[in-house]
Amino acid sequence: EVPLHPGSWASLFGLRGVDWRGLAGRAEKAPKKTVALVVGYNGGAYKGLQQMSDQMKSPDDPDAFMPTIESELELALLRAGAIVPSNFGNLKKIHWTRVGRTDSGVSAMCNVVTGRLVVGAGEEEDMRGLISRVNHFLPDEIVLHGATVVTRRFNARWDGSARAYVYVLPSYCPCRSTPAAVRAGVEAVGCEDARRLGPRESCALEAAAGLRGLRVQEEELGLFRSALACFRGTRYFANFTGANIDRAAPQAWRHVREVSCSEPFLGPDGREWLAVTIAADSFLTYQIRKMVATAAQVAQGYLPLDFVRAALDPHIACKTPKFPPYGLVFLRPFFKHRDRGLALEDSVDSIVESGRTAEWRESLQRTIMEADSETCIWARWLACALQFEEHMRGQALRAVSAYRVAQRSKASRVLQKQAGAVQVASICGHAGVPLWVGRHKWVGKA
C-alpha cells in the first residue's frame, strides 16, 4: 500500500485529527481517464510545485508539512470530485506526472501536470465542469487554465519536448556603475554582513545607492546580450547547477533553443526592468538563474566575457553566481516533437492564443515588481556579491586563465596537424603516390 506523503494535506489532517472525508466531492469509485491540467500560479508563497516536506523534521511532526502548488491542487481535485478519498494522500496513486518542476518562489504562466482523474465521459462539457469546480476550490494564487484528456501512457515530463521561461530583473543589475553604487550604499547604511539584511535594511541600501534611478546603457545591454548568446545551442552546463551530477555524464549537456533579452521597460514605481526569455529542451536545477546572473556580472565588468565560455567548457570546473528565484516565471511547455503530445500542444496553443494567460502573465510580472519595491531582494543580492567579490573573482580569473591556456594548446595542435598534413601531401606528390583530396583523386608528379 502506498503511504501518505508528508507533503499532502491528507497527512497534515491526520496528524491534527481532522476528518477530511467530508470534504470529498465524491465518495464512490468511478472510471478514470488520464487528464492533462494546464495550471498557472504565483509561487511566491509556496515551496515549489512538487509536494515536499521539511526533511529536518520527523514526518510525524505537523510542522514538517510545507505548502506547495501540488498539495493545493490535490486538495482542490478531491473537493471537486476528481479524486476519490481512497486515492487522496499520495499523488503516485493517480500516476501523477509534471512537465516542469519549479523551485520555491518560482511562478508559472502555463505549467502542465497529468493524473488519472474522474471526469465522466471526458467530453468538452465534462472538462468545462471540471475546470469550473477545481477553480472554485483553488486559492487565488493558483488557476486552472484548461484540461485535456490524453493517452494513458502519456508522461508530461518525458513527452514534453521543450520548456520556456522568462526571468524579470531590474535593469540596474547589468549596469557597469552598479557595483560602485552598491559599495557606497553599503558604507552609507553601515552594513557589515549583507546576508543578514532584512527587507527594511535592503530598501535603505537601495535608496542610499540610488539604484532605482539607474538606467542600463546601450553598450551594457549589448554586452549582456552577447553573454547570454554564448549559451545558445548544445552546451555543457555542469557549472550552472546546484545539483550534484556526474560531470562526465550526458545529463550535464543541455540544448538551449532560444535566449533573448527585451528592451528596457518601466515598472509601476518608475524603476526600469528587463525580461530575459530562455527556451530549452530541459534545464538543470538553478540553471536559468545562474545563466542570467553570470551574464549580468559580465555586463557589469565584474567578470570577463571569456568566463562564460570557460564555464561552458567540460574540462573546467568553477562556481557561478545565482540570482534569486522570485523573478523567474515558467512560461509554457512544448509537446510538438512528440506524437503523443500533439493534441496537448494544440490545447496549450489555443489557451495561449485566446489571451487567457496574457492577463495572468502580466499579473505575475506586476507582482514581481511590486514585491521588490517592498523587499529590494536584488539590492541585497548585489551587496552579497560584493561581500564575496575577492573570492569569486579570484576563482573566475583562474578559470579564464585555464581556459585560455587550453585554447592556445588546442590551436597549437591544430597547426601541428595541418603542418603534418602538408608534409605528407608533399611527400606523396613527389613520389607520384595517389592522394585523395575530398572526393577527388590527385596524382602529383615529381
Compute the distance between CA of residue 201 and CA of residue 220 in angstroms, rounded to an integer: 28
Compute the distance between CA of residue 179 and CA of residue 185 in angstroms, rounded to an integer: 10
403 labeled part of a ligand binding site: no
Which residue, 256, 296, 260, is CA-closest to 277?
260
Q: Which residues contact 416 (CB under 8 A, 6 or more apart)?
A: none
φ, ψ for residue 202, nearest 5 deg: -65, -40
Q: Cell 568566463 belongs to which residue?
A: 307
Compute the distance between CA of residue 336 and CA of residue 404 in angstroms, rounded to an integer: 40
Known catalytic residues are 103
Compute the distance between CA of residue 172 and CA of residue 273 in angstroms, rounded to an integer: 8
Contact (Cβ atoms closer than 8 angstroms) between residue 374 and residue 203: yes
Burial class (CB in 10 A: 0-12, 13-18, 19+), 12: buried
Compute the distance between CA of residue 336 and CA of residue 10 in angstroms, rounded to an integer: 36
Binding residues: 165
